[in-house]
Structure 1
């Protein structure tokens, strides 16, 4: 059911019996509302198989929940779209959806028709976005110090202050090292370590756990060579096998010995071909014959087999190697180089680190966590931080956080509504109240009185301090001075998606359920119909 921490969200449950006025979207918003802001709490999601996941990320929580109600699914899709497009602001979008639908229910009880509410919401959103530009600030350059503050805001509330600063700077430094080209940045998370062990490495990290390379085959001499030569083979290394079913008939021991001699000579030729190319590291996308692999290691060549396709392609670009389909085609001109190749144990996983790639500047961020879930959660948070930084650079603008902008826009709409002669004025006021749900939630999550905090913010805005929002301690504070900044696109996108899904819901007056088994013999539908009184967002089905 919506709001159940077991992760089972079902509009057909007894939720509607407990509270007939609670909407499915409202339940979903209430479920993740307490995760918003630096003082947001975590949710424990328990799956049907007993899997326990703890997170305060709205998009992850919504994704893990089993949502069956059609209205809840609409909100779920909007949240997924927000996360995919922006990487942040999912909780904001869902909270806005819940608040807008709550206000719509109040307006409907006051006698307003749904189409009037929809038209009013669209006009109010347009007016809010028209006013939004005056609160935006521009970045001076890619190395603007305020990018660090934006990165810290994105990860605040996930860890303690020291870890927040560390991961924000780690992420930003990694992006700067690759000139903000995320295609040259790789994230890897490993459990069995502490957060402070996370680091950014220069080069490419190959996860040997995902290949069948035996560690005993990694020759220590190859690891210490200066600027080792790297060869790439995009096929198997060994005796070619026929793609047809064939049999070899051996009539006597002489023929058997001849066959064995041929195989040995062939494998020896393969090893000699690799050695003559000058390669000290050979990376194979498929398997390497065991005898060949052992012989290569004995000759000082480090063999790595069954490399993942994405890693294989990255290594080829970064080292300048030219992949060949067969060792027979390998020449010295096909090899690339790196400054060093070293073996590194990360947690319980063996990795190979290729540092100092000459053809492409690469960085790998190694993220650590005590458990697999913590390590993966760290990876997700850093991914969100990367998206936020990239989004800020793409848009070139940011706004004060802490609910300062929605509070200011609510006041702008209140001023505009006073000049509206018809009942749309009520819709504008309701829209403004929904916007204020964001600073109210931040204040509530910080343990302060939302009404007192919001009143103080309004007074400060009236006095000209339009960048005042809810500070980390729950009290009004200038967000620019406090360094609480967020990309402009996060709130804009959340507002647009919230209005889109709410207007879609409000235009529906009934839910019609059909199934393939209910089709009549004449091919027409036999509709399974449950009347909702015209308000599908107010009744659980």
Structure 2
């Protein structure tokens, strides 16, 4: 019979085996994107089973399209997707930091540090780093701030036309709108291969007018936003078979027809509905020269209401007296069915400001890439307005690593090993940027560390063209705080979740009869 020590040894080996397996899977995912980091980053070629090829240096594109089977690796991919959805940028940094934290944590566990202590230490180190990062941020005071344009220029891969378009759109919507929690400037980007690139104050609805007999263009338009179908309310089918039910249905139809007359009386020019339209209503509104857009998605419906100043109403709201119904209408200066874009263009709304960034290109492939870059730039600009900016090029992370080392000296017990893992992981971004530029990361990192300490600076990094220590702020290499903050926070969360996995067990297949 095996003794207790032998049994515990087997359990420990199994634990390390599972951890190492996860760490290796995470490292494999990271290696697919780490070569794209920095100004000298290289492209990755993605090939599918039909030998179709995509060449890109966009981290989230690589992670979304690469084949990933290992569950721990998929956790990292999901974090990158969440980073993209939340911030629109920083996916490669988030992936690199997460992989580094898992790697460093696994090393500490292999040395004999209890995994719970490593996890607790990582969590303390991440919290400390996030607070310090906030302290180091430089604010954006005005939308005319030159740093905002620099951030847009960097995020747009140095496309000047995209930079100018995004900055113009930011001015159109204003700071108050940019700081709204649920508003995303990136949603203002619309791409079409036949479009002429420009920015305009207004919105595009992803629909066309209901029929070609309706006007394709109108000026000085009153707008009704209906969250329901533009149809008579229906009595239940069983009730319609009774005299009372039939009479009620006829009464509801009459009320609906009266409501249509009210719309004509208060001079509605555009009706936007969330669902379908009754054939009789279509005929009446067409004859009256009213444009109707039906089956509009809820978020677009809300955008039309917000932009035109309309109050969305339910179907029973159509029964209100004309003067009360009139108070719920919105207004826009122009509405046009753009036949090239196959969308409705609304401009001159009297509600909250909106902007649209139209992105065009010669081919589908090129326009898709320009759309992605434009969205990245818009997200970066909005993040910078909300939270300010920090030095880029891995400089802020290296500065934080030094702060975390000092913090580690105040931590008692074995949790300090987990804090050390955070310090080591924070060195990885600059090391990767330097390696991608063709320089020795060990040598360059030591040079930067020494000068950061000597000058008490958090902005010194490596000039990737010359290989010398330079001030990232002076070079214009900066990143939005919120992008970096969210990347580090997400990396800390997923890395500790992976380190916490003790055993990997394959689930049995479900049997369906």
TM (norm. structure 1) is 0.70
User: Quick check: 1:362 aligned with 2:351?
Assistant: no
483, 487, 497: which one aligns with 2:480: 487
Distance 1:292 1:140 in 2: 51
Distance 2:143 2:120 in 1: 40
Counterpart position of 1:404: 395
Counterpart position of 2:170: 172
SS across alignment from 1:460? helix
Distance 1:463 1:188 in 2: 45
Distance 2:120 2:332 in 1: 63
Counterpart position of 2:138: 137
Q: 1:184 to 1:328 in 2, by over 3 A?
A: farther
SS across alignment from 1:169? helix
Counterpart position of 2:264: 275
The answer to whether the 8 A contact 1:40-1:445 is kept is yes
What does the per-residue CA deviation read over 1:97-135, in whole Å, with 9 as the maximum and x for residues that have no partner? 222333345555656554564455455545645654663
334, 341, 345: which one aligns with 1:353: 345
Give the C-alpha shift of residue 32 in structure 1.
Answer: 1.3
508, 511, 515: which one aligns with 2:504: 511
Distance 2:224 2:200 in 1: 22
> By percentage of residues, which structure has more helix?
2
Counterpart position of 2:248: none
Matches within 5 A, 1:107-126: 107=108, 114=115, 117-118=118-119, 120-122=121-123, 124-125=125-126
Distance 1:135 1:233 in 2: 48
The answer to whether the 8 A contact 2:270-2:292 is kept is yes
Counterpart position of 2:437: 446
The answer to whether the 8 A contact 1:36-1:441 is kept is yes
Counterpart position of 2:103: 102
Give the C-alpha shift of residue 404 in structure 1.
Answer: 0.6
Give the C-alpha shift of residue 73 in structure 1.
Answer: 3.0
Distance 1:78 1:45 in 2: 20
What does the per-residue CA deviation read over 1:34-60, in whole Å, with 9 as the maximum and x for residues that have no partner? 222344344444556877655544344
TM (norm. structure 2) is 0.74
Higher relative contact order by CA 8 Å / sep ≥ 6: 1 or 2? 2
Distance 1:492 1:317 in 2: 31
Distance 1:240 1:413 in 2: 65
Q: 1:499 to 1:333 in 2, by over 3 A?
A: closer
Matches within 5 A, 1:409-428: 409-413=400-404
Matches within 5 A, 1:140-219: 140-141=141-142, 144-153=145-154, 155-157=155-157, 160-163=158-161, 165-176=163-174, 179-180=177-178, 181=180, 183=183, 186-193=187-194, 197-209=196-208, 213-214=210-211, 216-219=212-215
281, 298, 302: which one aligns with 2:291: 302
SS across alignment from 2:92? helix
Give the C-alpha shift of residue 378 in structure 1.
Answer: 4.4
Q: 1:344 to 1:125 in 2, by over 3 A?
A: same
The answer to whether the 8 A contact 1:203-1:357 is kept is yes
Q: Which sits farther off after the overlay, 485-494 or 177-186?
A: 177-186
Q: 1:168 to 1:413 in 2, by over 3 A?
A: same
CA RMSD, aligned part only? 4.4
Distance 2:415 2:261 in 1: 83
Q: 1:291 to 1:126 in 2, by over 3 A?
A: closer
Q: 1:246 to 1:91 in 2, by over 3 A?
A: same
Give the C-alpha shift of residue 27 in structure 1.
Answer: 0.3
The answer to whether the 8 A contact 1:339-1:356 is kept is yes
* Higher gyration radius (CA): 1
Gaps of 5+ in 1: 1-15, 249-264, 519-541
Give the C-alpha shift of residue 403 in structure 1.
Answer: 0.6
Give the C-alpha shift of residue 454 in structure 1.
Answer: 2.6
Give the C-alpha shift of residue 33 in structure 1.
Answer: 0.9
Q: Which sits farther off after the overlay, 281-290 or 67-76?
A: 281-290
Q: Which sits farther off after the overlay, 40-49 or 462-471?
A: 40-49
Query: Matched residue pairs, number?
Result: 472
SS across alignment from 2:38? coil
Give the C-alpha shift of residue 24 in structure 1.
Answer: 0.3
Gaps of 5+ in 2: 1-16, 242-253
